[in-house]
Amino acid sequence: MTISVGDKLPDVTLVKATEAGPEKVQSSEYFKGKTIALFSVPGAFTPTCSARHLPGYVDKADELKAKGVDEIVATAVNDAFVMGAWKAANGADAVTMLADGNGDFAEAVGLTMDGSGFGMGKRGQRWSAIVEDGVVKELNVEAPGDFSVSSAEHLLGQL
C-alpha cells in the first residue's frame, strides 16, 4: 500500500551519511517534532537526480527554511557512502542524506520501482513530501520518467 497524506511515516532504520561516517537512525525518532522537506530519488549520481533534483533543493534551501522547514532530507536506495559522496560532490550541505541501502523505507512507503532495465534493480521512486512530526502533510509522486511535482519549487509552493 502506498503512503498517503495524513499517514505516519513507517518506522524503519535508515543510515545518515555524516562526516564521521554512517550513523543508523530510526525514522520514527528522526522525523519526530520537525517539519521536513523530504525527497526521494531513484539513485545518487543519476542524471536527473544530480542535474536537477538535488540542485533545486540546495538552491531553494533558504526559502524552504523561511517557510518553516526545519530540515531538508534526501533518500535513495544507495548506501551511506554513496549518499555522502553525492552530497560532497554537489556542495549539498543544506541537505541531510538518509541512505535506504536495502530499500526498506521505499518498500514500507509503497513507492518502489523496478530499475532492472537500467541495471539498477529495485529502487525508490522519485517523490517529495512535507512531513510534520512524522506525518505526511503533502505528497508528490512523479509519473515514471517525469520530474516536476517532486521539485523543490513545487514543494515550496505547497508551504
Determine the Cα–Cα distance for residues 13 and 148; give it in Å rounded to an integer.
Answer: 29
Kindly state the helix (H) or strand (E) to which residue 107 belongs, with its residue range: helix 104-108
End-to-end CA distance of the chain, in Å? 26
What residues form DSSP beta bridges with 140? 128
Question: Distance of alpha carbon 56 from its chain centroid, rounded?
Answer: 13
- Choose, from 49, 109, 136, 141, the residue flagged as catalytic: 49
Grid coordinates representing 95 are 541537505
> Is 49 an annotated catalytic residue?
yes
Residue 68 zone, left/alpha/beta (φ > 0; ψ -120 to 50; rest): left
Please give the positions annotated as active site: 49
